[in-house]
Amino acid sequence: MIRKIFLFSAILLLSFIFRIQAQTVSDSTLTPEEKRYRDSIAAVNEQSKRLQLSQEAYNTGIQNFEKKSYTQAILNFDKAIELNSSFDKALYNRGMARFSTADFPGCIADMSQVLKIDKNNNAALLKRAEAYTQLGEYQKATDDYQAVTAKDPNNYKAFYYMGEVFFLQGQYEEALKQLNKAILLKPDFSRAYNDRASCYRKLEKFTDAVMDMQKAIQLEPGQAFYYNNLGSIRRKMNDPEGAIVNYTKAIEKDPAYFLAYNNRGSVYLEQKKTDLALADFNKALEINPKYALAYNNRGIIYYQKGDIDKALADFDKAVLYNKDYGLAYLNRGIAREMKKDAEGACTDWRKAEELGVKTAGKYVSVDCE
Amino acid sequence: MFLSIVNNLLSIRKMKLILTIAVWLLIFPTLFLQGQNVEFKSSQFKDQKDAFKMAEASLESGNAFFKEGLKALEEGKDATPLFFKALEPYRKANEFNPNNGELNYKIGKCMFLTGEGTNAIPFLEKALKLDEKNIEPDVYFLLGKALKLDYKFDEAKAKFTLYKTKERERVLSKITEEVEKEIRQCDLAKNFVAKPVDRIWVEDVKDWNTEYDDFNPSISADESMMVFNSRRPLNGSKDPYTCIWSTNREKGKWSPVKLMGPPFEKAGEYEIFNLSFDGQSMYVGKASPSEDIFLTVLEGNNWSIPMHLPDKINSEAQETGACFSTDGIKIYYITDQVYGNKGGKDIYFSGVMDRKLNLWGQGQTIGSEINTTLNDGFIYMHPDGKTIYFSSQGHNSMGGYDIFRSVRLAGRWSEPENLGYPINTPYDETSFVLSASGKRAYITSNRKEGGKGGMDIYRVTYLGPVKQPVSDFEDQLLADIASPQHEEKLEGTVTVETKNLTILKGRVLDDFTGQPVKADIEIVDNVKNTVIATFTSNSSTGKFLVSLPAGFNYGIAVKAKDYLFHSENFNLPETSAYQLVEKEIRLKGVCLGCKIILRNIFFDTGKFTLRPESSNELIRLGDLIRDIARVKPGIKIEISGHTDNVGSESSNQLLSENRAKAVVKYLVDHGIGQEKLVSKGYGSTQPVSSNTTPDGRQENRRTEFKIIGE
């Protein structure tokens, strides 16, 4: 036993001595030049460490992004960039994550930084353009998309998104031009057909719109919203039955598609099929209890039935879930008027007028002095 | 036993019968008494003599007022106060004896005639129930009117019809027309109420009304100013007085009402008839000596002393209302003057001839289209200049005064149109003014709904054309909004670089003299088998300094002319911080018996195949032998193999021999003459370190180079 302890102690001592021999040398043995050399190496090592930590944070950020933990990913990319301010990939990825959290100004800032490092980074341009679009800064978005197409004339996505930007500005003819280019470059791009149909619809070229929607459905028959849009085109063409058929197909494709329930219900409402309409609005609200449009429409049914209190309750909900919902304010004003609440009615109509509902403006001028 | 049970059953049945009879005996007299008239006779109240006397006195007191009231009615005087005074003693008497038919009738009649129309119903009905045969037949008429005010039009009509069969002929002949009017009004009211005017609402203006009469509101066309009459107590007085009150409207809100100042501050002197459209003039009425029309105008902030309108307008009769016309030329007014009158109060008009001289044309009736044989009591011209609103008990009134509208078309007044329910009711609606916008009207009514008592002011709000709520539908016009497909492709992951440099500092010295040696130094990455640095030690100091990535295994080979080369294998451990490692390398000269340990020759464990990373060392070894052979052609070298003591001696011996042979074979294969080389295996017999530790055993596993002949 004593021998074993002695042997173990000897091994420990030897290993310690060996370590000492291979380890740090005290400053006193170094010349000034050697100290400077050592310090520079230390600085290099420190920088290397920072780079290493930056890269580790960056990789972790990607993992979190892929898990859709965007906020955590942003924190990781923040760290990566803090440790390496010229880490363009981290800047780009943080921009992507910021976009995913709807921090569009943040996304724009990051992508702009990436573009300072590499002005030919089309991916950064595209994403910045998307962020500008989200913020309604359409001209800047268009500038970025044009910069992409100038460098990459076959980038159909840039043309497609540019078309959407023009659409959002109500420039439907210009939107058509861009979407035509996108379709020319990618003839099986069903989403572009949908958007082009929407342009035709706005331009009241309903036949062209129907053809494009049918093409979109042919290319991608599983998309419920294609049927919904086709239904609404049919509705615009004074074909309520055609509208109902397509809304119903949309519901078949996606039984949780509350928009289609609401839309079909609104056609039933116009057809005075109140019970069917009510059932559809109820279903829409069952699926999405915060769906303002269905509250608005169901409120109308109650109003028409003379149950003003229930109508008001639904209009209240509509504006609760969409505080910028002009029509709901208009309708609540009408219901409030019926409850002898002239002041409340005028408040609602003024709000609706602010939100662009012209009828409300007429009511304000006639009924609210 | 059986008989006993039968007897018990019989006795139970008897008991039940007795009990039933007893209950009926108790209930029946009560029922009988409730439905029977109880005369006010002392014999009826033998046990309550004192109380009876008091009740009888109250009854007599009430009867006195009641009688006076009837007389006043016959004389066409205001009988209301007398019937009001009769009510209090009557109620006291009724508390004592509630089952006297006549008393119930009188209470009901007093209540009806003092404005408590619907409250009279239970008394009148009870009077009929108690003593139908002896009650005055007008109980049916009164009850019909009260039921009409209670919106029970069919019941009311039935009572009026019954009244016609019950009333004495001499009385009935005088009021047949009135009864028929009441019956007609029941039908009209029923129809009006069944089809109320759409999209209006009527509400009493609580801030202006009092328990007294508040009436005849008048507004400027822009509805910024209102004046109205209110009969209410002033300055702590007990009795109410009619005065003119005013209020102004700013930002949709009416200011608190205030009593108008001079010259209208005197209680009971003036009442407002009409405020001009611009709010700068007023027609006011003054009751003394007879009700006449006066004009006052606003001068600065003060109203002028009201000017009496000339006799062409103000007659000896009563002028009880007036209004401005939009052209400012005409005046429409209410009068009961005889000339041209159709009956009761009628609407007249006159035109101004010289305003400065206050000259007006002779007043004349507005026309038979408007005036009726009954009272037409109020007029208002709308700012549109062609529409008049007036109150009338005639036309198709649903009861009392109703408000009518007529439009001047092609020089004639259109047929008056009843404004309908709920503007009009079976009660009296006595005034109506409409804002220029047509959105709001103000009326005077004594209806039972709302109000605080007497006549009250109500606001009518017109909702205008039907407003249809707008339904909504939603599309997803842009695919990118319906189903966002945002680009989510990220820049890819990066390989994490863990560069950590360690400084390798050292000196190369002559092993024998300790003097610095200038030597070529080569650093090899043993894993990748690549030379990563070559440099030379300082000739005067023997120093060298190099930085190497930590965490790897390196081979260092130092060679100098006339020296055996030195090779060494070392690890630079990974650390997180800066590190500096120092080495002193002592080179041995070329001499017989000199040997070097070839640390950078590697074999797989237990095998004798040279690993590729041994090649640098073997090349160096070949170069060294060739260098020495040039100076000493007869050189003889022993390449020996050594093992640790793990395993058997024989296997270690064999392994060491084979490893030495493998090195010799390599050298021979690379141009070294076989005669210069000897291979030898020593197994574990010549350890250079302890075999008890892994590091020691590592040291012992080695290949050696030794000069054994020159």
Quote the pLDDT of residue A78: 97
- Continuous H helices in B290-449: none
Contacts 24+ apart (CB under 8 A), A86-91: A86/A117, A87/A54, A87/A58, A88/A113, A88/A114, A88/A117, A88/A118, A88/A121, A89/A58, A89/B491, A89/B492, A89/B494, A90/A54, A90/A57, A90/A58, A90/A61, A90/B491, A91/A117
Contact A130 B486 (CB under 8 A): yes
Assess whether B179 and B41 both reside in one domain.
Answer: yes
- Return the bridge partners of B440, or none: B461
Please state, in angstroms and rounded to a whole number, the distance separating the CA atoms of residues B73 and B170.
Answer: 18
Q: Give the pLDDT band (50/70/90) at residue A207.
A: very high
Name the pTM for this structure. 0.64
The amino acid at residue B190 is K
Of B396, B370, B449, the residue nearest B117 (C-alpha): B449
As given in the structure block, the two tokens for residue B245 are 């009150």
Tell me the DSSP string of A172-188. HHHHHHHHHHHHHH-TT
Token duo for residue B597: 């340990």
Is there a single domain that holds both residue B40 and residue B102? Answer: yes
> What residues pair up with B524 in beta bridges, in sequence order?
B531, B555
Contact B432, B382 (CB under 8 A): no
| pLDDT at residue A368, as a whole number | 85
- The pair of three-digit structure tokens given for residue A3, joined into one six-digit string: 């021998």
What's the rounded Cα separation, in Å, for the pair B93 and A314? 58
Structural tokens at position A15: 């290993």
Candidates B494, B544, B552, partner chain A, best to mutate (most A CBs within 10 A): B494
A349 touches chain B (CB under 8 A): no
Q: What is the pLDDT of residues A150-198, one digit of tens each?
A: 999 999 999 999 999 999 999 999 999 999 999 999 999 999 999 999 9
Mean pLDDT of B475-494: 86
A97: pLDDT strictly greater than 60: yes
In the predicted model, what is the mean pLDDT of residues B337-354? 90
In this structure, what DSSP letter does residue B543 have? E
Would you state the pLDDT for residue B267?
87
* Ranges A4-8, B64-68, B214-218: which has the least confidence: A4-8
State CA B629 to chain mean position distance.
Answer: 105
Contact B274, B322 (CB under 8 A): yes
Mean pLDDT of B481-490: 81
As given in the structure block, the two tokens for residue A277 are 């309409």
* Residue in A25, A41, A165, A206 to test binding to B, most B beta-carbons within 10 Å: A41
Q: What residues of B are in contact with residue A296 (Cβ under 8 Å)? A: 471-472
Judge if B436 and B348 occupy the same domain: yes
pLDDT at B453: 87
CA distance B135 to B104: 10
Q: Taking 50 as the threshold, does the pLDDT of residue A4 lie above it?
A: no
Chain B residues in contact with A110 (beta carbon < 8 A): none
pLDDT of B29 strictly over 70: no
Query: Please, is B143 exposed, middle or buried when counting C-beta atoms within 10 Å of its C-beta (0-12, 13-18, 19+)?
Result: buried
ipTM rounded to 2 decimals: 0.78
B357 and B228 within one domain: yes
Task: Check whether B15 has a pLDDT greater than 60.
Answer: no
What six digits make up the tokens of B409?
């078309």
Contacts of B162 (CB under 8 A, 6+ apart): B140
Cα A294 to Cα A305: distance, rounded to the nearest angstrom: 17
Same domain for B144 and B159: yes
Whole-number Å distance between alpha carbons of B141 and B520: 141
How far is it, in rounded angstroms, from Cα B421 to Cα B704?
127
Is the distance from CB of A146 to CB of A138 less than 8 angstroms?
Answer: no
Question: Band of the pLDDT at A28, cuts 50, 70, 90?
Answer: low
Count of other CB atoms within 10 angstroms of residue B190:
18
Q: What is the pLDDT of residue B578?
A: 56
The answer to whether residues B232 and B186 belong to one domain is: no
- Reported confidence tier of residue A15, pLDDT bands at 50, 70, 90: very low
Buried b or exposed e, range A108-130, using 16+ CB within 10 angstroms: bbbbebbbeeeeebbbbbbbbbb
Structure tokens of B393? 């008990």
Q: Encode pLDDT of B637-653 as tens digits.
A: 999 999 999 999 999 99
B411, B444: one domain: yes
Q: How confident is the model at residue B14 (pLDDT cuts 50, 70, 90)?
A: low
Residue B194 confidence (pLDDT): 97
Closest partner residue to A38 (CB to CB) among B469, B571, B580 is B580
Residues B361 and B407 in one domain: yes
Provide the pLDDT for residue B35. 64
Q: Tell whether B656 is covered by a domain.
A: yes
Of A11, A164, A299, the CB nearest to B480: A164
Residue partners of A286: CB distance under 8 A and separation at least 6: none
CA distance B490 to A98: 12
Nearest chain A residue to B459 by CA distance is A340
Query: b/e per residue, B667-701, with b = 16+ CB within 10 A?
Result: beeeebeeebbbbbbbbbeebebbbebeebbebbb
Q: Hunting for tokens 């005055």 — which residue is that?
A: B136
* Residue at B493 is within a domain: no
Cβ atoms within 10 A of the Cβ of B455, count? 24
The burial of B590, by beta-carbon neighbours within 10 Å (0-12 exposed, 13-18 middle, 19 or more buried), is given as middle
Residue type, B179: V
- The CA distance from A207 to A200, in Å, is 8
Q: How many residues does chain A have?
A: 369
Residues B186 and B100 both lie in one domain:
yes
CB A312 within 8 A of CB A296: no
E strand or H helix at B134: none
Closest partner CB to B582 (pick from A25, A90, A331): A25
In this structure, is residue B298 part of a structural domain? no
- The CA distance from B681 to B693, in Å, is 22
Give the end of a domain, one of B589, B617, B644.
B589
Cα–Cα dist B79/B68, whole Å: 8
For A341-347, which contacts have Cβ atoms below 8 Å and span 24 or more sequence positions?
A342/A367, A342/A368, A342/B461, A343/B252
Mean pLDDT across chain A, nearest whole number?
91
Report the domain count for chain B.
Answer: 5
Boundary residue ending a domain (B194, B210, B236)? B194
In this model, does residue A258 exceed pLDDT 70? yes
Residues B585/B566, Cβ–Cβ less than 8 Å = yes
Q: Which of B251, B461, B472, B487 to mutate to test the interface with A (most CBs of A within 10 A)?
A: B472
- Return d(Cα A270, Cα A308) in angstroms, integer: 19
**Residue B27 and residue B59 in one domain:** no
- Given pLDDT bands bounded at 50, 70 and 90, which one contains residue B26? very low
Average confidence (pLDDT) over A209-224: 96
Rounded CA gap, B601 and B598, in Å?
Answer: 6
Q: Does A232 touch chain B (CB under 8 A)?
A: yes
User: Of B499, B515, B497, nearest to B507 (Cα)?
Assistant: B515
Residue B369 sits in a domain whose CATH number is 2.120.10
Q: Considering CB atoms only, which of B463, B474, B693 is closest to A293?
A: B474
Contact of B79 with B69, CB cutoff 8 Å:
yes
Residue at B355 is within a domain: yes
Cβ contacts of residue B254 below 8 Å, gap of 6+?
A: B207, B208, B226, B247, B248
- pLDDT exceeds cutoff 70 at B11: no
Largest CA distance in chain A: 111
**Mean pLDDT, to the nearest integer, of A319-343?**
95
Average pLDDT over residues A317-324: 98
Whether residue B489 lies inside any domain: the answer is no
B525 has which bridge partners?
B530, B554
What pLDDT, in 10s, does the model give residues A123-139? 999 999 999 999 999 99
The closest CB to that of A198, out of B478, B576, B580, belongs to: B478
| Residue B520 backbone dihedrals phi, psi, to 5 degrees | -85, 130
In a domain, B448, yes or no: yes
Q: Give SS3 for B257.
A: coil
- Cβ atoms of B521 and B537 within 8 Å: the answer is yes
- The answer to whether position B276 is within a domain reads no
The DSSP H or E segment spanning A105 is helix A104-117
Q: Looking at beta carbons, which residues of chain A come within 8 Å of B470?
A: 300, 327, 330-331, 359
Crossing angle of helices B121-131 and B138-149, rounded to 10° = 150
Grouping H, G, I as helix, E, B as strand and the rest as coil, residue B494 is coil
Measuring CA to CA, which residue among B489, B392, B652 is closest to residue A89?
B489
Considering the domain architecture, whether residues B431 and B579 belong to the same structural domain is answered as no
How far apart CA B136 and CA B127 sit, in angstroms, is 10
DSSP A268: H
Mention every residue, 6+ apart, whose C-beta is less than 8 A from residue B554: B523, B524, B525, B526, B532, B548, B569, B570, B571, B572
Q: Does residue B63 share a domain with residue B22?
A: no
Other C-beta atoms closer than 10 Å to the C-beta of A303 total 22
**Last residue within a domain, chosen from B170, B194, B218:** B194
pLDDT of residue B5: 40
Over residues B374-393, the pLDDT tens digits come to 999 899 999 888 999 999 99
Residue A17: pLDDT band (50, 70, 90) is: very low
Q: What angle do CA A157, A160, A162 make, to 5 degrees?
A: 110
Containing structural domain, residue B541: 499-589
Selected residues 41-100 of chain A with any CB under 8 Å from a CB in chain B: 41-42, 44-45, 48-49, 51-52, 55-56, 58-59, 62, 65, 89-90, 92-93, 96, 99-100
Q: How far is B201 from chain A (nearest CA, A)?
A: 7
pLDDT at B318 over 50: yes
CA distance A86 to B482: 37
Q: Domain for residue B47, yes or no? A: yes
Dihedral pair phi/psi, residue B453, rounded to 5°:
135, 145
Which pLDDT band holds residue B575 (cuts at 50, 70, 90)? low
